[in-house]
Amino acid sequence: MTQNPYLWLIPTLPLAGAAINGFLGRRSSKTAVTIVALTFPGLAFALALKIALGFSWEAAPYVFNLAHWIRSGSAGLPNYFTADFAFYLDQLSLVMLLVVTGVGFLIHIYSVGYMSDDPSYYRFFTYLNLFMFFMLTLILANNYLVMFIGWEGVGLASYLLIGFWFTKDSAASAGKKAFIVNRIGDFGFLIALFLMIQHFGSLTFTEVFSKVQPLGVEHSSAGVLTAIGILLMLGACGKSAQIPLYVWLPDAMEGPTPVSALIHAATMVTAGVYMVARSHVIFERAPIALTVVAITGTLTALFAATIGITQTDIKKVLAYSTVSQLGYMFMACGVGAFSAGIFHLMTHAFFKGLLFLGAGSVIHAVGGEQDMRKMGGLRSYIPWTTAVMGVATLAIAGIPPFAGFWSKDEILWKAYQGSWIYWLIGVITAFLTSFYMFRLLFMTFAGDYRGAKVDEHGHASHGHGHDGHGEPHESPMVMLIPLMILAVLSIFGGLVGIGNGFEHFLAPVFGAGSEAATGETAGRGMEFLLMGVSILVALGGAILAWVLYVSKPYLPQKIAAGLGTFYNAVLNKYYVDEIYAKLFVKPLVDGSTSILWQGVDRKVIDDTVNNAADGARHVSDEVRHMQSGNLRSYAGWIAAGAAVVIAYMIWLGAR
Amino acid sequence: MVPLSYYLVLSGVLFACGVTGFLIKRNIITIFMSIELMLNGVNLSFVAFAAHWHTLSGQVFVFFVMVVAAAEAAVGLAIIISVYRTRETLNIDQVNLLKL
């Protein structure tokens, strides 16, 4: 443990950027907004790099306590509970820190080009900086409560950015959907926190884990650790879009594309994986919870990949691909290979960020069109984008030596050690991944351009969504440079995993390479065999995509017709949204309408108030006749009252 | 010796007559006389108790009441005369300018 007083600056810098742009951005020039928006995340990235370069194994973890927050009870007693604004940096958070600040900064740069025509330019960067603040808080937290601040905060930023174009109805409702679905997961997270407070009296990572450490593994019985684990996983399901709470992520593509890249692919959605990995001490002692994680991840990976095959919206394909890849990460965590999960998280951030930014560049090029059926042949118009998209596709498909290969293969190998079923589903998913990614690549860049071309207007007016967009055109340099940097990372980012280098780096966090040492010699041959299988499968997917979408483009139609209802089910995303609407949304809406609104609100609350007022008016209506102005009637009332008083006194006396 | 209760009953009857007259009569002079009747009904009970308990305070009270009643009669009759001069009636139901 070493104090590092710079830690708190890393999240705070983007917050300062958000504050400056948020309060002054409306009246500042675009250049000023750009400078502020880029400087602060850039500084955060520089600071993260400085810390990373000076990172010492002996000194780790670095901690810094910024301020007291909650103090309850008295020290020494069992009811003592504290939670501070404190930061914690170990190897795990360092990886996340570099990914988030690095990829985040690149996407900030890209956004300068992508959003340059938007009237709410300053608002976009305010939200983006705000997101960086919360995400860094989440990563650098030293207890679950501060993590929860970041957790909720990134949810807020995500909501704001999905609904960035809030005048569009679909964007506004997609934002709401994301927020509400995430609430369900957060509910589980919160309950898990309460359980921790109840049983361990603390939320600080080190304290909770030191109290969990001596507890035995809950093998046969399911106890509190299992409960905490499953509830944490529920939270992770919400944030990281796993079954059953993945439905918000595809809709989140309503947001601007850089947002999809940063929040809904590279960083925020991986928060769940990070949280599960961070809680590995708990999960390792709760095998049932771990199995839940593994099964959820595996099923999600397969499920989302199948949907990805049928989508025609370029961003939707990538969204389902993200869900599927997140499933891989959970699969890794579920079989206890946390470092493999984090490794994939990192490489995924590179290539999925690149894919989304590339898709953004494509959308930019064709004037806001997102339907791949109206693209095609773009390789000659936008060669740079084509090249980086090709790199990213190779990376995600798992072709060596690109980044995705190393991490995905690591996961599949670890999954095989867990159970061959995980491995089999993983390999099938890898095949599907390769297929739908090459399908995207071929549909977009190969063949002839199928979109509408209006030659007259040419390049003079290239606002987004205009009809007269002219020919597809390459994006400006400010967008291409981040793409190229990410492309380089997608190519070489996986090499850190060679020889289990990445695993060794994370070993202080996850324990000293638990099975790496034991299983290594025995399974080396097996590992190479499995590696060969996954490469073959990836190539197979690519070849199949080439056959179906380049050489024989009439075939997909036939296959789709042949599959009939099954194809329709997949095309409609297995009707999950419809089922949720019938099962949860409609009863809630109906119940709210008939019981809460018509029943409680109108019949009980409104009627109570109205009837009280009506009653008062009726009574007064009657009583006001007593106030006649007739003197003798007043005297009569006085006499009657006096008579009553006297009668009462007589009765009292006579008693 | 007449028992106390006789005086009290007579006092009550006088007071009740006064109240009744006050309530049912319309002529303002009659109402005025009814008020005097009530006062005197009360006076009677005062002196009856004073005699019964052999104290003077009841008697003193009665003198006070009579003085105040005299003063009230003077003021009240003056008002009645002035009302009659302006309204030319003694019926209080017609003296209702302040009524809604």
Q: What is the ipTM of this complex?
A: 0.78
Both tokens of A618, joined, read 């009726």
- Does the distance separating the beta carbons of B22 and A632 come in below 8 Å? yes
Q: Does B100 map to a domain?
A: no
Spatial separation of the C-alpha atoms in residues A327 and A429, rounded to whole Å: 10
User: What is the distance in angstroms between the Cα of A622 and the nearest Cα belonging to chain B?
Assistant: 17
Cα A645 from chain centroid?
Answer: 77
Residues of chain B with Cβ-Cβ distance to A630 below 8 Å are 99
For residue A629, give the nearest of B19, B23, B99 by CB distance.
Answer: B99
User: Picking from A279-293, A474-488, A508-522, A564-578, which range would have the lowest pLDDT averaged per residue?
Assistant: A508-522
> Phi and psi for A81 in degrees, rounded to 5?
-145, 130
CA distance A640 to chain B (A): 10
Which residues in B lie closer than 8 A to residue A632 (C-beta atoms)? 22-24, 92
Alpha carbon distance A17, A37 (integer Å): 6
- Flag whether B55 is in a domain: yes
Nearest to A155 by CA among A173, A176, A126, A125: A176
Q: Measured between alpha carbons, how far is B47 from B51 in angstroms, rounded to an integer?
A: 6
Instruction: Nearest by CB to B23, from A628, A629, A635: name it.
Output: A635
- The residue among A625, A627, A632 with the most chain B CBs within 10 A of its CB, best to mutate, is A632
What the block records as the tokens of A15 is 């917050």
Is A297 a residue whose pLDDT tops 90?
A: yes
Amino acid in position A197: I
Q: What is the mean pLDDT of residues A191-220?
A: 88
Closest to B100 (Cβ–Cβ): which among A629, A632, A636? A629
Q: Do A630 and B99 touch (CB under 8 A)?
A: yes
* Chain A residues within 8 A of B24 when measuring between CB atoms: 632
3-state secondary structure of A67: strand
pLDDT at A221 over 90: no
Q: How far is B63 from chain A (nearest CA, A)?
A: 25
In a domain, B23, yes or no: yes
What pLDDT score was predicted for residue A78?
A: 78
Contact A270, A240 (CB under 8 A): yes
Query: Could you tell me how many CB contacts below 8 A there are between chain A and chain B?
Result: 17
- Domain containing B16: what range? 4-88
Q: Is the pLDDT of residue A516 over 50?
A: no
Would you state the torsion angle of the CA atoms of residues A457, A461, A462, A466, taken in this order, to the nearest 10 degrees?
-80
Q: What angle do CA A653, A654, B3 make, to 5 degrees?
A: 85
In Å, how far is B53's CA from the nearest CA of chain A?
20
Q: Is residue B96 part of a domain?
A: no
pLDDT for A513 beyond 60: no
Q: Identify the CATH number of the domain in which residue B37 sits.
A: 1.10.287.3510
3-state secondary structure A132-199: HHHHHHHHHECEHHHHHHHHHHHHHHHHHHHCCCCCCHHHHHHHHHHHHHHHHHHHHHHHHHHHHHHH
Q: Does residue B97 surpass a pLDDT of 60?
A: yes
CA–CA separation, A441 and A438 (whole Å):
5
Asked whether residue B60 is assigned to any structural domain, the reply reads yes
Residue A453 confidence (pLDDT): 60
In a domain, B97, yes or no: no
| Cα-based angle A94, A99, A100 (whole degrees, multiple of 5) | 100
| Residue A454, both tokens | 């209006």
Query: What is the C-alpha to C-alpha distance for residues A33 and A118, in angstroms, rounded to an integer?
Result: 13
B83–A contact, CB cutoff 8 A: no
Q: Residue B67 corresponds to which tokens in the numbers above?
A: 């003085």
Query: Which of B19, B24, B98 comes nearest A629 by C-beta?
Result: B98
- Residue A58 DSSP label: T
Look at residue B62 and tell me if it is in a domain. yes
Contact A324/A429 with Cβ under 8 angstroms? yes
Chain A residue closest to B21 (CA)? Answer: A632
Instruction: Judge if the upstream peptide bond of residue A587 is cis by omega within 30 degrees of 0.
Output: no
pLDDT at A397 over 60: yes
Opening angle at CA A314, ends A310 and A316, nearest 5: 65
Instruction: Inspect the interface and report whether the beta carbons of B98 and A639 lie closer than 8 Å.
Output: no
Please count the other Cβ atoms lying within 10 Å of the Cβ belonging to residue A143: 25
For residue range A40-91, list pLDDT tens digits in order: 999 999 999 999 998 888 887 899 998 999 888 887 787 888 889 999 999 9
Residues 17-46 of B with CB under 8 A from A: 19, 22-24
Q: Please say if the pLDDT value at position A314 is more than 70.
A: yes
How close A608 gets to chain B, by Cα (Å)? 34
Instruction: Quick: pLDDT tens for A526-578.
Output: 888 888 998 999 999 999 998 888 888 888 888 888 887 888 888 888 888 88
How does residue A220 score in pLDDT terms, banded at 50, 70 and 90?
Answer: low
Give me the residue label for tokens 């080396």: A524
Residue B38 within a domain: yes
Selected residue with higher pLDDT from A641 and A527: A641
pLDDT of residue A256: 92
Q: What is the pLDDT of residues A453-485, one digit of tens each?
A: 644 444 434 444 444 456 788 888 889 999 999
A606-620: per-residue pLDDT in tens?
999 999 999 999 999
- Calculate how close chain A gets to B54, using CA atoms only, in Å: 24
**Domains identified in chain B, total number:** 1
B92 Cβ under 8 Å from any chain A Cβ: yes
- Contact criterion met (CB < 8 Å) for A629 and B96: yes
State the pLDDT at residue A467.
Answer: 44
